[in-house]
């Protein structure tokens, strides 16, 4: 079965550079979520999109922006990277069904290292 696809899997950037992370949700999943998981930490919610519109916002820095496109894929843009941005970035998708008992489907994550 198709899963959530994230690219790239690994990314190394220097301080003050920009990075773009991509997420392709499971077909027919119209909601996308982004999470940041620092080393040894639990995932922290960044932002979510439903039907190409931002639906919720968490602890996302102003240096980050994200959008969902017409094909439902999403991109997380990160500018002026800082060392503290080094983390595993998860994308997850879900259908809007309120009866879903299977939670999110997570992608494998993008491991961003800022040097």
Q: Is 111 in the site for another protein (CB under 8 A)?
A: yes
Quick check: 108 binds another protein (CB under 8 A)? yes
CA atoms within 13 A on the CB side of 101: 0
- Examine residue 103 and tell whether it contacts another protein (CB under 8 A): yes
> Minimal CA–CA distance to 32: which of 12, 55, 16?
55
Q: Report the distance separating Cα 51 and Cα 93, nearest Å.
A: 12
Q: Minimum Å distance from CB 43 to another protein?
A: 5
Residue with tokens 């039907």: 51
CA distance 25 to 29: 6
Q: How far is the CB of 31 from another protein (least distance, A)?
A: 7
Nearest alpha-carbon partner for 70 in 32, 36, 35: 32
Q: Which of residues 25-84 bind another protein (CB under 8 A)?
A: 31, 33, 41-45, 48, 50, 55-56, 58
The smaller minimum CB distance to another protein, of residues 17 and 56, is found at 56
Task: Enumerate binding residues for another protein (CB under 8 A).
Answer: 31, 33, 41-45, 48, 50, 55-56, 58, 88, 90, 92, 94, 98, 101-109, 111
């Amino acid at each position: 079965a198709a899963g959530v696809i994230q690219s790239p899997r690994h990314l190394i950037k220097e301080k003050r550079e920009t990075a773009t992370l991509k997420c392709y949700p499971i077909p027919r999943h119209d909601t996308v979520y982004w999470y940041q998981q620092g080393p040894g930490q639990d995932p922290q919610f960044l932002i979510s999109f439903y039907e190409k519109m931002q639906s919720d916002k968490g602890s996302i820095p102003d240096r980050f922006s994200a959008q969902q496109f017409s094909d439902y894929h999403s991109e997380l843009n990160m500018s002026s990277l800082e060392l503290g941005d080094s983390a595993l970035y998860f994308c997850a998708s879900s259908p809007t069904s309120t009866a879903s008992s299977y939670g999110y489907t997570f992608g494998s994550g993008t491991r961003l290292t800022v040097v």
